[in-house]
Chains A and B, each alone.
Chain A
Amino acid sequence: MRIKEIVCLVFAWLLLISGLAYSGEIDILVEKLVEKGILSPGEARAILIETKEEVKKDLAKGELEGLPKWVQNAKIKGDLRLRYQWEDKHDAPDRHRGRYRFRLGLETKVNEAVKVAAGLATGGNDARSTNQTMCDGFSTPDIRLDYAYVEWMATPWLTLKAGKIKSIKKVIFRPSDLLWDSDINPEGISFLLSKKMNNCDLFMNTGFWVLDESSSDTSDPFMWVIQPGFKYKFDEKTHIKMAVAGYIFDNVEGATLTNGDDNSGKYNTLEGGALKYNYNSIAPSIEMGFKEPFGGLIPYLAVFGDYVYNPDPSEENNGYLLGIKFGAKKVKEWGQWQAKYMYRHLEKDAWIDIFPDSDAYSGHTDVKGHEFALTYGIGKNVTLGIDYYYMERIKGTGRRHLLQVDWKIKF
């Protein structure tokens, strides 16, 4: 074992300093050692394989000479989505729009524990949308900072994220967008704790997120979240994931909030132009997933749900969503598909109205309705999708149809 280890280390070092150019010569050296009876043919083969594995690992870790490590460790990701959108509002003429979204992100490891990421995206200052509508005679649209954050894996079970954090779904378990539009990138700090055991993964997501800042006084609105949960695998094919989030809002009652979109911040109950209630709430979430159910007829099926309860108002303070999706777990390749259906019911003061899915009645509260979505893979990382919403007011007569046809390319 000791001789083998030494030979292995020497060869790994040789490969590294030579930039892999002399791997053929190392084969010859090993053959010579076999000829001289120092190594058996099997040991020689093992040494060569283990050396290659060691080099492969160093390559993956970016430990070779040459470019700075942060460059070797950098990953560029992005996507382009082209969309046709039709809207039918009960009180306005039909609207047809061509829209696009482009996002580009860079992520790099500063060291083995710290990662920095930043991304740019089209769209205005609306926190819930990075869409750009085709308009204004080919004018050139804005590109804005979508996210910029640091991620520090303090221990294998504790990760900290701070800054404008990429994607709400990376810091909160949310099987649907009842409460959180998937484009929201919260600002503040999150601590994510996780503990993996045999069949059960425990986790606790926490966050302190800033909602606004006022230069004239110190009563800045912000929010806290704590979400303990677990994922339990019954076997290789079945899992359940559950969590309960507690949200605490500070300085929100009596404040006016906006997410940058003019269409938000006015559908909760207002008093004197400001929010009448607080939105400290409790929100359980659940998802059950089944691989190859019905004798393998489909590759994956999941049922999921979200619920929210805000105890401050005495009425119109509940919300829920029930959903099912089936087909591929994620559509990444040609021929893969996924179908999804969701029913949502979000009362006026169940949740603060600047965060829910902006496509469901423009992200208002006091809405209920259906969403159907179908995604089909037309190539590796290229999908076609159709998303249809029929939403209506819980109280009142408003109703809206929304149809989106998306061609999405990821890279």
Chain B
Amino acid sequence: MKRVILVGTLVTLVLGLMVASVYAESRRLIIQGSTTVLPIAQKCAEVFTQKHPEANISVRGGGSGTGIAALIDGICDIADSSRPIKDKEINKAVERRIDPVAHVIAMDGIAVIVHPSNPVNELTLTQLKDIYTGRISNWSELGGKNQKIVVISRDVASGTFECFNKLVLKKQRVRPDALLQASNAAVLSVVKRTKGAIGYVGLGYLSSEVKALKIEGILPSEDTVLKGTYPISRPLFMYTNGKPKGLAKDFIDFVLSEEGQGIVKEQGFVPLK
């Protein structure tokens, strides 16, 4: 009899542990990807966890490509991305039986910034491309001071660079003397300290310490980005494997709720509502 009780207790314990671990797993969410989307994901995770203390959410950066690769490899539940998924990534996902479903969670404009003392107020996309590819090297060629243009760009792994590369550079190479920075904050920091500098950052990183230029006559703003009139704008995504379920669904619903979109706005991006 004692043996039956002992075995019964052990079985109950093991089953209990299994159920508990399955439940714990179901309330665990790994989010990885774009450094641009990172502040939105982090803040949303923080607020969401306050409301749902049982949820265990881990948020990591690494870049859009890293996030999508992690989703394809089954390492994360949600991939943050500041660009649409590429065809080769879709093909890889399909090969691994992953079904990447896009959720647009916000819009972002890439603001082109200069030092506040710079008299130049606007550029065309062609002028901007010429600056970054080395055809224009002095502000005087654009109606500004006789001053060398110090070109600040992002490292090629960043989603911000990929977007800028596609929309502005048309995949031409950045001039070799451009100073590459690892983050939006670093670009902002260099531009605000350097008089002849030009750089680009996500709209959320704009501050009064730098001047945003009009591009094709349009200033980057919530309105121009949402309407799609500002030429260097992009959607921000969260990708899931198939339609989101459980905690992933609850989290994305939260990001798209009024409260979540409020966080999007707080972080300096453009909310959808």
**Interface residues in chain A, defined as those with a beta carbon under 8 Å from any beta carbon in chain B:** 1, 40-43, 45-46, 49-50, 53-54, 56-57, 60-61, 112-113, 153, 156, 196-198, 236
Q: Once the chains bind, are A53 and B97 in contact (CB under 8 Å)?
A: no
Q: Which of B8-16, B85-93, B212-220 contacts A (4 or more CB under 8 A)?
A: B85-93
Distance A328 CA – B164 CA, assembled complex (angstroms): 24
Q: Once the chains bind, are B103 and A50 in contact (CB under 8 Å)?
A: yes
Q: Once the chains bind, are A56 and B96 in contact (CB under 8 Å)?
A: no
Known A41-B226, A53-B84; judge A46-B74 contact (CB<8 A).
no
Give every chain B residue within 8 A of A196 (Cβ-Cβ).
Answer: 73-75
Give every chain B residue within 8 A of A54 (Cβ-Cβ).
Answer: 101-102
Known A53-B102, A56-B90, A156-B96; judge A45-B75 contact (CB<8 A).
no
B125 CB-CB contact with A under 8 Å: no
A sample of 6 more A-B contacts (CB under 8 A), given A53-B102, A54-B101, A236-B157, is A42-B272, A45-B228, A46-B272, A53-B85, A61-B94, A113-B97
Give every chain A residue within 8 A of B97 (Cβ-Cβ).
Answer: 112-113, 153, 156
**Interface residues in chain B, defined as those with a beta carbon under 8 Å from any beta carbon in chain A:** 73-75, 84-85, 87, 90-91, 94-97, 99-104, 107, 157, 226-228, 235, 253, 256, 270-273
Q: Once the chains bind, are B75 and A46 in contact (CB under 8 Å)?
A: no
A-B contact pairs, 21 of them (CB 8 A): A40-B272, A41-B227, A42-B107, A42-B273, A43-B272, A43-B273, A45-B107, A45-B235, A46-B104, A46-B235, A49-B104, A49-B235, A50-B104, A54-B101, A56-B85, A57-B90, A57-B100, A60-B91, A61-B94, A112-B97, A196-B74
User: Shortest CB–CB separation between residue B186 and chain A, in angstroms?
Assistant: 17
Give every chain B residue within 8 A of A41 (Cβ-Cβ).
Answer: 226-227
User: Shortest CB–CB separation between residue B194 and chain A, in angstroms?
Assistant: 22
Distance A230 CA – B94 CA, assembled complex (angstroms): 24
Give every chain B residue within 8 A of A46 (Cβ-Cβ).
Answer: 104, 235, 272
Q: Which 4 A-B pairs have the closest CB atoms?
A: A42-B272, A46-B104, A53-B102, A60-B90
Distance A156 CA – B74 CA, assembled complex (angstroms): 9
Q: Which residue of B lies closest to A115 (CB)?
A: B95
Give every chain B residue within 8 A of A236 (Cβ-Cβ).
Answer: 157
User: Shortest CB–CB separation between residue A12 and chain B, in angstroms?
Assistant: 11
Distance A50 CA – B107 CA, assembled complex (angstroms): 13
User: Shortest CB–CB separation between residue A40 and chain B, in angstroms?
Assistant: 5
Distance A40 CA – B256 CA, assembled complex (angstroms): 13
Give every chain A residue within 8 A of B74 (Cβ-Cβ).
Answer: 156, 196
Distance A156 CA – B157 CA, assembled complex (angstroms): 27
Q: Which residue of B lies closest to A42 (CB)?
A: B272
Distance A236 CA – B158 CA, assembled complex (angstroms): 13
Give every chain A residue within 8 A of B96 (Cβ-Cβ).
Answer: 153, 156
User: Shortest CB–CB separation between residue A289 and chain B, in angstroms?
Assistant: 16
Q: Which residue of A lies closest to B90 (CB)?
A: A60
User: Shortest CB–CB separation between residue A14 and chain B, in angstroms?
Assistant: 18
Distance A53 CA – B89 CA, assembled complex (angstroms): 13
User: Shortest CB–CB separation between residue B204 and chain A, in angstroms?
Assistant: 15
Which of A45, A56, A113, A153 touches B104 (beta carbons < 8 Å)? Answer: A45
Q: Once the chains bind, are B94 and A60 in contact (CB under 8 Å)?
A: yes
Q: Which residue of A lies closest to B66 (CB)?
A: A236
User: Shortest CB–CB separation between residue B237 and chain A, in angstroms?
Assistant: 8
Give every chain A residue within 8 A of B102 (Cβ-Cβ).
Answer: 49-50, 53-54
User: Shortest CB–CB separation between residue A49 and chain B, in angstroms?
Assistant: 5
Give every chain B residue within 8 A of A1 (Cβ-Cβ).
Answer: 253, 256
Q: Once the chains bind, are A40 and B253 in contact (CB under 8 Å)?
A: no
Give every chain A residue within 8 A of B272 (Cβ-Cβ).
Answer: 40, 42-43, 45-46
Known A1-B253, A40-B272, A50-B104; judge A197-B75 contact (CB<8 A).
yes
Q: Once the chains bind, are A112 and B256 in contact (CB under 8 Å)?
A: no
Of listed A42, A56, A236, residue having the most chain B CB within 10 A: A42
Give every chain A residue within 8 A of B228 (Cβ-Cβ).
Answer: 45
Give every chain B residue within 8 A of A156 (Cβ-Cβ).
Answer: 74, 96-97
Which of A40, A56, A61, A113 touches B84 (beta carbons < 8 Å)? Answer: A56
Give every chain A residue within 8 A of B75 (Cβ-Cβ).
Answer: 196-198
User: Shortest CB–CB separation between residue A61 and chain B, in angstroms?
Assistant: 5
Distance A120 CA – B85 CA, assembled complex (angstroms): 34
Give every chain B residue within 8 A of A60 (Cβ-Cβ).
Answer: 87, 90-91, 94
Distance A176 CA – B37 CA, assembled complex (angstroms): 41
Q: Which residue of B lies closest to A197 (CB)?
A: B75
Give every chain A residue within 8 A of B253 (Cβ-Cβ).
Answer: 1
Give every chain B residue within 8 A of A112 (Cβ-Cβ).
Answer: 94, 97
Q: Once the chains bind, are A42 and B271 in contact (CB under 8 Å)?
A: yes
Give every chain A residue within 8 A of B104 (Cβ-Cβ).
Answer: 45-46, 49-50
Q: Which residue of B lies closest to A46 (CB)?
A: B104
Distance A54 CA – B237 CA, assembled complex (angstroms): 13
Give every chain A residue within 8 A of B100 (Cβ-Cβ).
Answer: 57
User: Shortest CB–CB separation between residue B33 and chain A, in angstroms?
Assistant: 14
Give every chain B residue within 8 A of A56 (Cβ-Cβ).
Answer: 84-85, 87, 90
Distance A323 CA – B90 CA, assembled complex (angstroms): 35
Distance A97 CA – B97 CA, assembled complex (angstroms): 48
Give every chain B residue within 8 A of A43 (Cβ-Cβ).
Answer: 272-273
Distance A410 CA – B99 CA, assembled complex (angstroms): 31
Distance A128 CA – B155 CA, assembled complex (angstroms): 42
Distance A57 CA – B91 CA, assembled complex (angstroms): 9
User: Shortest CB–CB separation between residue A292 and chain B, in angstroms?
Assistant: 10
Q: Once the chains bind, are A42 and B270 in contact (CB under 8 Å)?
A: yes
Give every chain A residue within 8 A of B95 (Cβ-Cβ).
Answer: 153
Distance A66 CA – B96 CA, assembled complex (angstroms): 25
User: Shortest CB–CB separation between residue B160 and chain A, in angstroms?
Assistant: 17
Q: Once the chains bind, are B94 and A40 in contact (CB under 8 Å)?
A: no
Give every chain A residue within 8 A of B271 (Cβ-Cβ).
Answer: 42
Q: Which residue of B lies closest to A335 (CB)?
A: B173
Of listed A54, A60, A236, residue having the most chain B CB within 10 A: A60
Q: Once the chains bind, are A40 and B273 in contact (CB under 8 Å)?
A: yes
Q: Which residue of B lies closest to A153 (CB)?
A: B95
